[in-house]
Structure 1
Amino acid sequence: MTLQAFGPQIWIADGPVLTAAAGFRYPTRMAVIRLAKGGLFVWSPTALSPDLRAGIDALGPVEHIVAPNSLHDTFLTPWRDAYPDARLYAPPGLRARRPDLAFDADLADEAAEAWTGQIDQVQMRGAWITTEVVFFHRASRTAIFTDLIQHFSPGWFSGWRGLIARLDLMTGPAPAVPRKFRAAFTDRRAARAALRRIRAWPVEQVLMAHGAPVTSDGRQFIARAFDWLEPA
């Protein structure tokens, strides 16, 4: 696992494939943003291999470790152990799921003081599965989604899992919000309010935890991905 530059002061790294409920296999991806004062903001950390750690340490000190939703917590403990001076941030719902972790702060609907003016954020409220915090890195004009938008190749899942993935829009012709997440948004008004903030960002690139990055026309991409949420 090695870091790859994704724009000014932002890097990404792909991690191991994890097996989730019912045997569905998911690749993992993380992002690292270097803030103005040199400290690092680590989004959705994946497995901390020696090579990855060496690359991270070469960029600067890890100051902020962020779990973007309550489903992305697998590797938080080793990162907490490796970087005990970093602040660990919990998204809505994760403190209750992980009482073993000592979180330093909660991710709110506005940027924390440490990254105000550099990284914007909004809670995508209204879904019962999880409340995902979506980020926007201003310097690279990158929107960062976790599970809300996904895209797998048609052959990634096989057998009955392949059928379910296709019906769920996980393996369609383009990245999409899976049908299970669409159905989970029982409070569409809250979701639309969050989406309006996201669509106001001058996005050019889009990162997803489970799908190839989008490197151009990010605003149009987000509009297409969430056209099902717009009021009739």
Structure 2
Amino acid sequence: MLTAFGPGIWIADGPDVVAALGFHYPTRMAVIRLADGGLFIWSPTVLTDGLRSAVEALGTVRHLVAPNALHHLFLADWKRAFPGACLHAPPGLRDKRKDLAFDHDLTNTPIPAWAGEIDQVVMRGNAIINEVVFFHTASGTVLFTDLLQHLPADRFSGWRALVAKWDLMTAPEPSVPRKFRLAFIDRRAARAALHHVLSWPAERVLMAHGAPVSEGGQALIRRAFRWLS
């Protein structure tokens, strides 16, 4: 249910979700254990009894983090299960989910609860999403949500396979989907955020939609965002 990915970080894959045009996307979440024993839950997936037990065995859930305004489907379930956890909103999600009482807005500055352990930057300037990218220092892991994807070439069929190929979702290695590239209307802001991401000594890369990468993370990110430089 939970798989160790590095020092203090675990991952779990959830069921597929159906997005626009009937595309089925895989889902993945991460759990980071902070120095005080509290847990940082990134992009929470469907909460099953088994997953809940595995998470509770690691520590106390203190932070529920939606990295962008598209990854919010299961926040309410997690908040009900862990009412003492803080809900953290990326840009745009407060307006989208008025039914949720968020405790904090994610910015370029880590909050004191995880400062020094997890860094972050908002990839701004995109007309579709403004995603918060995180870096877990202890494991050298960068966490991307939708801005970096890598799905198997045979995952889709028919016209969806053609769209996925055009969109670079099924490129030979993790790539920024073409729709998000075209949506960067403020490239100066995006480049500033990318500069911050590339300052991290990244070894590993996690994506919500793609196989985890265990080595060469910084070089991979440089290649994936070469079009933006």
**When the two structures are superposed, what TM-score results if normalisation uses the length of structure 1?**
0.98
Cα shift readout 1:140-162 (whole Å, capped 9, x = no counterpart):
00000000010111111111111
Aligned to 2:113: 114
- State the alpha-carbon separation in 2 of the partners of residues 64 and 34 from structure 1: 10
Aligned to 1:123: 122
Cα shift readout 1:74-123 (whole Å, capped 9, x = no counterpart):
10010010000000000000000000011111101111110000000000
How many pairs were matched up?
229
Letter in 2 for 1:214: V
Aligned to 1:140: 139
Residue 160 in 1 paired to residue 156 in 2?
no
Cα shift readout 1:44-101 (whole Å, capped 9, x = no counterpart):
0000111100000000000000000000001001001000000000000000000001
- State the alpha-carbon separation in 2 of the partners of residues 108 and 61 from structure 1: 24
Cα shift readout 1:1-42 (whole Å, capped 9, x = no counterpart):
x00000000000000001111100000000000000000000
- State the alpha-carbon separation in 1 of the partners of residues 33 and 208 from structure 2: 19
Cα shift readout 1:170-218 (whole Å, capped 9, x = no counterpart):
1111110010000000000000000000000000000000000111011
Q: Which has the higher strand share?
A: 2
Identity %: 63
Letter in 1 for 2:156: F
Greater than 6 Å deviation, 4+ residue runs = none
- State the alpha-carbon separation in 2 of the partners of residues 106 and 158 from structure 1: 39
Aligned to 1:11: 10
Gap regions ≥5 residues in structure 2: none
**When the two structures are superposed, what TM-score results if normalisation uses the length of structure 2?**
0.99
Matches within 5 A, 1:1-232: 2-230=1-229
